[in-house]
Amino acid sequence: MDLNKNKAPVSIITRSLLVSNTVMRQISMFFHIQWLSDLRL
């Protein structure tokens, strides 16, 4: 019972970390594209 209670928050944390990681990757890609477009100008 205790193990199941502990597993739930961990899965939520790992899921949120994965989501934040993908979001950060998209943001970094966007800024990289913006930076390249600035260099072209």
What pLDDT does residue 34 have?
87
Task: Indicate the SS3 state at residue 41.
Answer: coil
Overall size of the chain counted in residues: 41
Give me 31's structure tokens: 């800024």
What pLDDT does residue 40 have?
73
Domain assignment of residue 1, given as a range? 1-41
- Give mean pLDDT, residues 34-40: 83
| Higher pLDDT among residues 19 and 3, named by residue | 19
Number of folded domains that form the chain: 1
Reported as a single tens digit per residue, the pLDDT across 5-31 is 667 788 999 999 999 999 999 999 999
Q: What is the DSSP letter of 3?
A: H
